Structure 1
Amino acid sequence: MALASQKDFFSGLMFTAVGGSFAWGATDYTVGEGARMGPGYFPLMLGILLAILGTVITLQSFVKGNPGGDKIGAFAWRPLGFILGSNLAFGALLVGLPSIGFPAMGLIVAIYALVFIASQAQPGSKLKATFILATILAAGSYGAFVKLLSLQFPVWPAFLTN
């Protein structure tokens, strides 16, 4: 039996592995039941659902796809690096790195850094569009997390609020 789509085959395997890992990890917590869910219920059900979806996609990769086999392209290192880097920068800027003396820069600075670093994953990104997106995300996050949910974390850099 030949693969009709390498992309679907490997995507399905990834979904199955990640879903199975989440479901297996969720068994360390109290699962409960539908009426009284424990902390492991949602990750268990989501992991099982993802594993089933992955299995279906993997099986369909043998029958659905382009006649040429729908090959996997080159690995996209640039987007991977910038997206992972932007998330690491967000975390470091939001809470700071006290072990090396780097202060918390707060939510607004962290969101701007996240958006500007992540925008570099796509060559030719526009500075104006990135700035507009960062402003909308910063304002929305401030409204949702600080005002509506009353979460307690730094919004601005410490040296600006003291």
Structure 2
Amino acid sequence: MASFIRDPKDFLSGLMFLGFGGSAIFLGQDYEVGRAIRMGPGYFPLFLSGLLCLVGAACVIRSLARPGEPVAGLAFKPLILVVVSTLVFGLLLRNAGMVAALAVSILLSSLASSKFSLKAAALTIVLLSAFCYLVFLKALGLPIPLIGPWLGG
């Protein structure tokens, strides 16, 4: 790492945020943005991508001014568990339902932590399931099965 970078973790995080934000802006450039008063389908993704780029730029700038720890080795177990939990959620949502998909996803991603607690994971499952039920099914009316056909729903 270059000698002017004082916090490699923040620097690499900032580059990652800039990369994701810039990629999202590039991929979403075909969507109509519209205006604040009449938003198009690309307005919110462009706004969030821009915010992600700003956070990335702030991390990079901060990494040049503030000392930090060197980057340790990549922790593969947490990385794999979080990615797999996201994929499993997407695969289970339609057929197993929202509650089962959330439960499996939360359990898998919780295992990524060295401070894993089954009690905390169970509480998270209950609270997040209730929250998602209220927001996505009741408030927004999205056609997501609470209990999917695989589980008799």
How would you bin the TM-score normalised by the shorter chain?
Answer: 0.7 to 0.9
121, 141, 149: which one aligns with 1:158: 149
C-alpha contact 1:22 1:47 (8 A) present in aligned 2:
yes
Runs of 4+ off more than 3 Å: 159-162
Q: Could you tell me the TM-score, scaled by structure 2's length?
A: 0.83
Question: Which sections of structure 1, spanning at least 5 residues, go unmatched?
Answer: 96-103
User: What's the counterpart of residue 127 of structure 1?
Assistant: 118
C-alpha contact 1:31 1:41 (8 A) present in aligned 2:
yes
Paired residues, what number? 151
User: What's the counterpart of residue 98 of structure 1?
Assistant: none
User: What's the counterpart of residue 8 of structure 2?
Assistant: 6
Whole-angstrom CA distance in 2 between matches of 1:48 and 1:130: 33
Summarize the Cα distance change of 1:142–1:55 in structure 2 as closer, same or farther, 3 Å threshold.
closer
Whole-angstrom CA distance in 2 between matches of 1:38 and 1:147: 24
Specify the structure having the higher radius of gyration (Cα). Answer: 1
What is the RMSD of the two structures over their aligned residues, measured on CA atoms?
Answer: 2.2
C-alpha contact 1:24 1:44 (8 A) present in aligned 2:
no
1:80 is aligned with what amino acid? L
Q: Could you tell me the TM-score, scaled by structure 1's length?
A: 0.79
Shift of 1:134: 1.2
| Aligned-pair identity (%) | 36
Whole-angstrom CA distance in 1 between matches of 2:81 and 2:144: 25
145-154 or 17-26: which moved more? 145-154
Whole-angstrom CA distance in 2 between matches of 1:132 and 1:83: 19
Shift of 1:159: 5.3
User: What's the counterpart of residue 82 of structure 2?
Assistant: 83
